Amino acid sequence: MKTKARASSTGRVTLDDVAKRVGVSSITVSRAFRRPDKVADEVRQRIQRVADEMGYVSNSAASSLASARSMNIVVLVPSLRNMVFVETLDGVEKALRPKGYQMLLGVTNYSPEEEEALVRAYLAFDPDGILLTGMNYRESTRRLIESVRVPVVHMMELSDRDGVYSVGFSQEAAAEAMTEHLLSQGRRRVAFVASQLDARTLARSRGYR
């Protein structure tokens, strides 16, 4: 039988309404939506079922004010036409969702200017972190990033600089290893083909040579 919603004076079902119906505290309900990994599966599923029945929609803005965290992570990629970036986004989303984070996606179109504009625009959302593809951005973007206290991680690159966090591999070393492998197999005419001459492609071309 469908559970009838019990709404506040505004007509919206509140977090407290859901908590009372489930028989848990409001804090537990809030945590189930913001940090689902911190709530037992059976309890979380019961909360979600009742919330769905009552038509409850989590107020992310209110949760952000209460926790002093936006639960938003900015992720910037150059393109959605390259499956490498699409698969990367899929992995990022799968890692963020269980922790209660939402992904704010931006596509730079391989443009340093667009990348900086997106960084500036998304900083207005007070993100809890930023994921950037590579480290080949403008000096003004670098200063902007350093001026805010938001953790930044660079994807698909490696850096040995102090205070710079990166997850990836050496593009140059990877291309060199692949080229040497082909040569070791008796191949003598190895071609290098690229669709975009960005910094990562140029690094791979150096490894190829």
Which helix (H) or strand (E) covers residue 172, if one does? helix 171-184
Q: Residue 166 has what DSSP assignment? A: E
Higher pLDDT, residue 167 or 112: 112
Average pLDDT over residues 151-157: 89
The pLDDT, as a whole number, for residue 140 is: 92
Q: Strand, helix or coil at 155?
A: strand
**Does pLDDT of 7 surpass 50?**
no
For residues 134 and 157, give the distance between their C-alpha atoms in angstroms, rounded to a whole number: 5
- pLDDT band for 78, please (50, 70, 90 cuts): very high
- pLDDT band for 24, please (50, 70, 90 cuts): very high
Higher pLDDT, residue 2 or 15: 15
The pLDDT, as a whole number, for residue 92 is: 95
- pLDDT band for 3, please (50, 70, 90 cuts): very low
For residues 24 and 29, give the distance between their C-alpha atoms in angstroms, rounded to a whole number: 7
For residues 13 and 22, give the distance between their C-alpha atoms in angstroms, rounded to a whole number: 13
pTM above 0.75, yes or no: no
pLDDT mean across residues, the chain? 82
Torsions phi, psi for 26 (to 5 deg): -65, -35
Task: Count Cβ atoms below 10 Å from residue 7 Cβ, excluding itself.
Answer: 14
Q: How many percent of the chain have pLDDT more than 90?
A: 34
The pLDDT, as a whole number, for residue 8 is: 46
Q: Residue 1 has what DSSP assignment? A: -
The pLDDT, as a whole number, for residue 106 is: 97
The pLDDT, as a whole number, for residue 122 is: 92
Q: Per DSSP, what are the bridge partners of residue 165?
A: 153
> What's the Cα-to-Cα distance from 145 to each of 106, 107, 163, 176, rounded to whole Å?
16, 18, 12, 32
- Among 133-142, 163-172, 185-194, the range scoring the smallest mean pLDDT is 163-172
Average pLDDT over residues 35-40: 81
The pLDDT, as a whole number, for residue 66 is: 52
Average pLDDT over residues 144-162: 83
Residue 21's region, left for phi above 0, alpha for psi from -120 to 50, else beta, is: alpha
